[in-house]
Amino acid sequence: MAQRRTNGSKLLMTVLCVVAACRAVPVTDLLDRASQRSDRLHSLSTMLTQELKMPEMAPLCLTISAAFSVQVVTNSPSRLQDSHFPPIGRVIMPRPAMCHTSSLQTPNDKEQALQVSESDLLSLARSLLRAWVDPLLVLSSSANTLPHPAQNSISNKIQELQEHSKSLGDGLNVLSGKMGPAAQTMSLLPYRGGNDLGQDKISKLINFQFLLSCLRRDSHKIDSFLKVLRCRAARMQPEMC
Amino acid sequence: MLLLLLLLRFSGAGVRMKGGLRLVVLLMLSVESSSLSPPGKPVLLGCRSPEKETFTCWWKPGLDGGLPTVHRLYYEREHLEGTHECPDYRSAGSNSCFFDKNHTYIWVDYHVMVEASNALGNVPSDPLKFDVMEIVRPYAPENVTLMVEEKQESPYLHIRWKHPSNTVSRSGWITIKYQLRVKQENSNDWKNYTSGTQMGFSLYSIHPGVVYEVQVRCTLDHSSWSEWSNTTFVKIPNCEFQRPFAPFVALQLVVKIVKRFLLPPVPGPKIRGVDVQLLKSGKSEDVLGALIVNQNFPPMVARKDQMEEYLIVSDGGEWLLPAPLKSQKKKKSSFIPAGFHLDSQCKESTPSQVQENKDEMKSSSNLEQKQEFSGINFAAADLQKGASENFMQRLPNSGYVDIQRQENIVEVDGILVDYSRVKEVNGDNVFILQKENVPLSLDVQRREESMSEDYSRVKEVNGDNVVLLNPHMTGLSKIGVCTDLSSDGYVDTIPAPSLI
């Protein structure tokens, strides 16, 4: 009888140990997975902004310029001698300074980023990610009726963005649980843009482009923060850096 | 004209001159030489940040209007008051402005413009608005080295390179991904390969005696691609590889001749009592008929000495039947290696439970070989007698069921190819199948199994993937077999032993 009991308890202990060991996924692994997702998120949002910038916009710009006579800046400043817009009639695009997430204080260069604590980095990433849940819904529904030749591809990418964003959010929630209470705090960044992006074709496209540029910036922030975190957490694994 | 210029200079230098006089001088200047004018409008060509820490902007001056012209760059920045001038006109060459680490901020907008001024006026360029994130573009990777290596007489090309020179930091701030392209010297057909973050790549499909060209480029955080690196050439040597060939070729030839003409032919696979043609026809009723053609199955006598029943499941090329199988004597069977992660419930179930059992199959306690295989190509059901182990180890890429009975060891090759087309198993016997759609359905009881993407478990016996296991004798439950075998004429792969 006693024999059976000790055997039973031994078995129980072994099982518990195994379960505990199995459940503890190391933080570095979690961070690695999260980084891969955020990388994919950023890649998607970059592709989206490029897809949306098309010569298709040119006739629109002419219309706008004629209607409003505004002076403008080109929308593709980065590439040398690369302009998707004709020299006449460019449109002022709202710049990401007006994004709904711009109130969040984030590091703005490498030194600053390397000085932020791990829990703060995670908290920033989570806050940014959560701020996009609602706008992504708006983008998704607008994408279905977007007056743009690449509408289908854009719509698919937004869908994929939503899925990755959701699973990244879940993963970061798990991570934050393992990193202490400081990592659990999140800033609230509500989106107040309403449910649709505009009534007419032009404003719809412009607002769509604007939101995507905000998303690209924020996805880059999330990706950069998570990768800095991953590198920091994986001291013994230089390939994570 | 020089005199006039000097006069103008003096006037600019503070020597008092009446406005009118100045105007006269200007007019004279312009009359004298119609090429003097305010400068042409400069054009901001663009900006580039090679490592997400600094950036440079370049401009192209317009016509200078005949007068010495100075270009100045001014910028404004989000979260920064006022307009500022370029911090460094020199480091990046002429007509450029370099922003060092202290002046570079990311995720904020810069508003940059260049102004050309000469004595006759200032002309601004069109402004440029950008975020440093948008202008990231790394330099090309460096030190591309190519090495031809030989492995088992097939040469391969090992390509290695270094990250671009200014990106040394290992802090996780940047992630560089590489892409390379290769072509044969005289063709225009580049083949692209992605290398991820690895700085090395092995190319196996190369031909001896050919010269290859290789170029590599990279991207930083999904930025624009860098330029292609300088082309590196390599010639694949062909001399030293030929020597070993000669004796091998001769040997292979000899073997071939011997096999073909001297040795008896290898018999094709068959299962006794099964009409293969009928099976191949693909109709479900026919298949059933084909399988039950021979009703003379040996009686299902419990054999104490037959212990080993197991299924070997594996992906053709990688599958190796592990040694423990051979050593299995009087142990529980139903070993299913690889793909299938069988769990213990299956093992312990009684026949009646088995039928309701919707869990995955499991391996025997001793043979928990969990090998990962990418697909399930075949299964071998083998019956092992007490001491004799007559299972076949076959690693073809096609599937097969190796059904052995006591004396009649019939290896059926290709049967599973047919069985692989069983779509539904509605009965007790289920066979492992390839994931091919086949309109066959056996009257085998359905078993629902769950299946993960990598085939590690059987998901549905009812679907395209069907797995089966070891039939066992009714009444004998602890064999580790997941289904029942009814003795009503279905193919009985293993006369169920009564064992434990």
Tell me the chain B residues in contact with residue A86 when contact means C-beta distances shorter than 8 Å.
Answer: none
Q: Is residue B209 a part of any domain in this protein?
A: yes
Where among B78, B102, B134 does a domain terminate? B134
Q: Is residue A66 left, alpha or beta, with left meaning phi > 0 and alpha meaning psi from -120 to 50?
A: alpha
- Per CB-CB distance under 8 Å, the chain B contacts of A224 are 173, 221
Task: Select the highest-mean-pLDDT range: B2-6, B350-354, B420-424.
Answer: B2-6
Using a CB-CB cut-off of 8 Å, the residues of chain A touching B173 are 110, 113-114, 224, 227-228
Residue A240, min C-alpha distance to chain B (Å) = 7
Is residue B224, in this structure, part of any structural domain at all?
yes
Structure tokens at B20: 């009118």
The β-bridge partners of B404 are B409
List all residues 6 or more positions away from B164 whose beta carbon is below 8 Å from its beta carbon. Answer: B50, B51, B138, B139, B140, B141, B142, B176, B218, B226
pLDDT on residue A157: 94
Q: Which of A222, A225, A215, A227 is nearest to A47 (CA)?
A: A215
Work out the pLDDT band at A154, boundaries 50, 70, 90. very high
Same-domain pairing of B64 and B127: yes
Q: Are residues B124 and B172 in the same domain?
A: no
Under an 8 Å CB criterion, which residues of A touch B?
Answer: 39, 42-43, 46, 73-74, 77-82, 95-97, 106, 108-111, 113-114, 216-217, 220-221, 223-224, 227-232, 238-241
Domain A26-52+98-240 CATH (choose: 1.10.599.10, 2.60.40.10, 1.20.1250.10, 3.50.30.50): 1.20.1250.10
Is residue B412 a contact partner of residue B279, using CB atoms and an 8 Å limit?
Answer: no
- Cβ–Cβ of A78/B134 closer than 8 Å? yes
pLDDT of residue B47: 95
In a domain, B101, yes or no: yes
pLDDT at B301: 56
Mean per-residue pLDDT, B327-353: 40
Angstroms from A140 CA to nearest CA on chain B = 23
Contact A80 B46 (CB under 8 A): yes
**Residue B393 resides in a domain:** no
Q: Which helix (H) or strand (E) holds B150?
A: strand B142-151
Q: By a Cβ cutoff of 8 Å, what residues of chain B touch chain A?
A: 45-48, 52-53, 58, 78-79, 101, 104-109, 126-131, 133-135, 137, 169-173, 175, 197, 221-222, 224
How many structural domains comprise chain B?
A: 2
Mean per-residue pLDDT over chain B, rounded:
66
* DSSP annotation of B402: E
CA of B52 to nearest chain A CA: how many angstroms apart?
A: 8
B85-143: pLDDT as tens digits:
999 999 999 999 999 999 999 999 999 999 999 888 899 999 999 999 999 999 999 88
Query: Which residues of chain B does A74 touch, with a Cβ-Cβ cutoff of 8 Å?
Result: 126, 128
Q: How confident is the model at residue A173 (pLDDT cuts 50, 70, 90)?
A: very high
Rounded distance between C-alpha atoms, residue A97 and residue A89, angstroms: 23
Q: Please report the pLDDT score of residue A2 as a whole number.
A: 64
Query: Which pair of tokens denotes residue A231?
Result: 């590198």
Q: Is B399's pLDDT higher than 60?
A: no
Give the model's confidence band at B467: pLDDT under 50 very low, under 70 low, under 90 confident, else very high: very low
For B57-92, how does the pLDDT look when each residue is reduced to its tens digit (9 = 90+)? 999 998 878 888 999 999 999 889 999 999 999 999
Q: Give mean pLDDT, residues A141-155.
A: 89
B75 and B106 inside one domain: yes
Residue B80 lies in a domain: yes
Whether B222 and A46 lie within 8 Å, measured CB to CB: yes
Residue B83 belongs to a domain? yes
* A110–B169 C-beta distance less than 8 A: yes
Nearest to A117 by CA among A31, A54, A164, A182: A182
What tokens does B155 get? 């040469």
- Token pair recorded at residue B200: 């090395």
Q: What is the pLDDT of residue B275?
A: 64
Lowest mean pLDDT among A6-20, A49-63, A174-188: A49-63
Which one of B219, B236, B253 terminates a domain? B236
Residue of chain A whose Cα is closest to the Cα of B133 = A217
In this prediction, residues A26-51 reach a mean pLDDT of 92
Q: Do B101 and A111 touch (CB under 8 A)?
A: yes
CB A107 within 8 A of CB A98: no
- Kindly list the residues from chain B whose CB atom is less than 8 angstroms away from the CB atom of residue A227: 172-173, 175
Residue B23 is predicted with a pLDDT of 66
Instruction: Report residue A217's pLDDT band, with 50, 70 and 90 as the boundaries.
Output: very high
Q: Stretch B331-352: mean pLDDT, rounded?
A: 39
Which of B484, B492, B500, B488 is closest to B401 using CA atoms?
A: B492
DSSP secondary structure letters along B357-392 = --S-----SS-------S---EEEEEEE-SS-----
Stretch B392-419: mean pLDDT, rounded? 42
Among the partner-chain residues A79, A217, A232, the one whose CB lies closest to the CB of B107 is A217
Minimum distance, in Å, between the CA of residue A191 and any CA atom of chain B: 19
Boundary of a domain, candidates B134, B152, B187: B134
Q: Using CB atoms, which residue from B46, B78, B106 is nearest to A77?
A: B46
Element (H, E) at B58: strand B55-60
Confidence (pLDDT) at A48: 92
Work out the pLDDT band at B151, boundaries 50, 70, 90: confident
CA distance B79 to A98: 12
**% pLDDT > 70, chain B:** 45
- The residue segments making up the domain with residue B122 are 43-134
Residue A240 has pLDDT above 70, yes or no: yes
Question: Nearest CA to CA, how far is B347 from chain A (Å)?
Answer: 20
| DSSP states of B229-245 | PPPEEEE---STTTTTH
Residue of chain A with shortest Cα separation from B223: A46
Would you list the DSSP string of A172-197? HHHHHHHS-GGGG--------S-S-S
pLDDT higher than threshold 50 for residue B455 = no
CA-to-CA dists, residue B476 to A60, A85, B267, B473, B488, angstroms: 78, 79, 36, 5, 17
Residue B406 and residue B385: Cα distance in Å, rounded? Answer: 7
Least confidently predicted of B158-172, B316-330, B361-375:
B361-375
* Dist. CA B40–CA B33, nearest whole Å: 16
| Contact check, Cβ <8 Å, B172/A231 | yes
Residues of A whose CB is below 8 A from B48: 78, 80
First to last CA, chain B: 115
Residue B24 has pLDDT above 70, yes or no: no
Cβ of A238 and B170 within 8 Å? Answer: yes
The overall longest dimension of chain B from CA atoms, in Å, is: 129
Residues of chain B contacting A231 with CB distance shorter than 8 Å: 170-172
Q: How high is the pLDDT of residue A96?
A: 63
pLDDT score recorded for residue B457: 46
| Cβ contact B397:B377 at 8 Å | yes
Res B365: pLDDT: 39
Complex ipTM, two decimals?
Answer: 0.78
Is pLDDT larger for residue B100 or for residue B391?
A: B100
- Counting DSSP H helices and E strands in chain B, the numbers are 9, 23
Q: Find all residues with CB under 8 Å of B272, minimum gap 6, and list them.
A: B294, B408, B410
| pLDDT on residue B28 | 62
Name the pairing type of β-strands B109-118 and B70-77: antiparallel
Please judge whether A95 and B109 are an interchain contact, meaning their C-beta atoms are less than 8 angstroms apart: yes
A223 and B221: CB-CB below 8 Å? yes
Which range, of A2-6, A95-99, B31-35, B352-356, averages the lowest pLDDT? B352-356
Comparing CB atoms, the residue among B52, B78, B169 nearest residue A97 is B78
User: Tens of pLDDT along B237-258?
Assistant: 875 544 555 677 778 888 888 8
Confidence of residue A46 (pLDDT cuts 50, 70, 90): very high
Chain A residues in contact with B100 (beta carbon < 8 A)? none
Query: The domain that contains B171 carries what CATH number?
Result: 2.60.40.10
Residue A20 φ/ψ, nearest 5 degrees: -65, -40
Q: How confident is the model at residue A234 (pLDDT cuts 50, 70, 90)?
A: confident
Q: Once rounded to an integer, what is the mean pLDDT over residues A137-153?
A: 90
Q: Which residue of A has its CA nearest to B79?
A: A97
Residue B345 has pLDDT above 80, yes or no: no
Give A-chain residues touching B196 at CB under 8 angstroms. none
Range among A126-130, B11-15, B468-472 rated most confident: A126-130
Residue ranges of domains in chain A: 26-52+98-240
pLDDT of residue B91: 93
